[in-house]
Structure 1
Amino acid sequence: MIILPAQESDIDPILEIEKLSFARAWTKQLFIDELSCKTGLNYVAKSDNNQKGLITGYHFFRLIADEMHILKIAVSQQWRTCGIASQILKKSIELALKKGALSAFLEVRPSNTPALALYWKMGFKQIGKRPGYYPETGEHALVLMKNLKEVL
């Protein structure tokens, strides 16, 4: 497994994973826009050691001041439970630290137990709640934070 910066040519395979991972999937244009965002950093995990490999997961986040804001992280269904999300998140945190980030933030559904297990394992802590954050279900979001200076 290798982790590389996401390219526009990666968007279609990312969309396949996105549609199966999220009830409210991002559009192709949202991903394209994120690739050109000045504060955005975006990665794909590929199944082999060349740039033509099968995309198995992705991570889109932004660095704003000294904060990492996690927007999206997902892994293809057939590759889940193989540690790919952990690898992507670790690499992203390492990069964010090199660029001066001190903390990371994200929102997650309380019902997303696999994601919560990953975030707890990676040292995130709940710091709040956003009521009605997910309009399609009315579900609230848990707001999680991690001090990036803590060992992974």
Structure 2
Amino acid sequence: MDDDALKIGEYEEGDIVEIIAIESDSYPTPWSENIFRNEITSPISRMLVGRTAKGEKGGVWGYIVYWRVDDEVHLHNVAVRRDMRRKRIASRLLEEAIRRCRWEGARRATLEVRRSNLPAQKMYEKFGFTVEGMRPGYYRDTGEDALIMWADLSRLCPEGYAAAGEADIKNA
């Protein structure tokens, strides 16, 4: 996919319907609209949306939800529309989230991932995440274990990301 085809930016109110559809198609126990709305209004929560740069309807291709608390980031939810998978959209969303968090002073990031979700684990490993623990039976729907992964953000991004100005981030 051409890098110019994807625009990553802040959540917009009109995105919620497409986000719920992607969520429902991506997870056995999807977040509800209410959960997303709570995340949107939480002062520690951030949501980035990847969409077609052309601005056409049906243009939400994926999203990432994360919390930033002090110098840590907790990645909560990443999903990409089924027909847009395997095009590096999740990687680009994660890269942008990390870039913004580094600029805001975050030093470490963590996440939980299903033990069976090997594609996600491989993507996170490419960003420097390593397995640091496990939560047995974490996922209620299947009783599956969650792997706990951590990354040192200062090792993930070139110093240029940390030095990016606010205008650069808003225009990303």
Indicate whether the TM-score tops 0.5.
yes
CA deviation map 1:44-89 (0-9, x unaligned): 0001244866000000001011100001001011011101011000
Match 2:32 to one of 27, 34, 45: 27
The match for 1:146 is: 151
CA RMSD of superposed structures (Å):
1.3
Distance 1:92 1:2 in 2: 13
Q: Deviations over 1:120-151 (max 9, x none)?
A: 11110001000110011111100000100013
SS of the counterpart of 1:69? strand
Q: Does structure 2 retain, via aligned residues, the 8 Å contact 1:8–1:32? A: no
TM-score (norm 1): 0.96
1:1-40 superposed matches below 5 A: 1-40=6-45
* 8 Å Cα contact 1:62/1:69 also seen in 2: yes
Q: Is the 8 A contact 1:131 1:141 kept in 2?
A: yes
Asked if 1:62 corresponds to 2:70, the answer is no
Counterpart Cα distance in 1 of 2:8 and 2:58: 11
1:123 equivalent to 2:128? Answer yes
Distance 2:12 2:74 in 1: 20
Give a deviation string over 1:71-110, Cα, whole Å, max 9, x none.
1001011011101011000000000001110000000001
Residue 86 of structure 2 aligns to a residue whose secondary structure is coil
Give TM-score, length-normalised by structure 2.
Answer: 0.85
From the two aligned structures, give the one with the greater strand fraction: 1
Q: What amino acid is the match of 2:129?
A: F
Q: What count of residue pairs does the alignment treat as equivalent? A: 152
More helix by share: 2
Identity %: 36
Q: 1:51 to 1:95 in 2, by over 3 A?
A: farther
